[in-house]
């Protein structure tokens, strides 16, 4: 049996709230493959929402 590890890294000490947005370091780790890349800094709420919606769409269509 192959065990796959999937992690979302969210560095809480890098979270910054701007006027209407929240940024911080966030990235995926899938068996050592990092996406988009290690220490990616972006709009975390937007990314999490998009990633969850895409994951749901992929899982429900399979």
pLDDT, tens only, 2-54: 657 789 999 999 999 999 999 999 999 988 999 999 999 999 999 889 988 88
Per-residue model confidence (pLDDT) at position 4? 74
Helix, coil or strand: residue 40: coil
Q: Which two tokens stand for residue 8?
A: 């979302």
- Per-residue pLDDT at 3: 59
Quote the pTM value: 0.75
> Helix, strand, or coil here: 47?
helix
Which three-class secondary structure state does DSSP give residue 52?
Answer: helix
| CA separation for the pair 49, 52 (Å, rounded) | 5
- Whether the pLDDT of residue 62 is over 90: the answer is no
CA dist 49 and 54 (Å) reads 9
């Amino acid at each position: 049996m192959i065990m796959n590890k999937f992690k979302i890294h969210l560095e809480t000490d890098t979270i910054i709230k701007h006027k209407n947005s929240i940024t911080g370091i966030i990235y995926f780790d899938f068996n050592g493959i990092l996406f988009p890349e290690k220490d990616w800094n972006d709009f975390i709420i937007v990314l999490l929402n998009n990633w969850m919606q895409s994951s749901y769409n992929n899982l429900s269509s399979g």
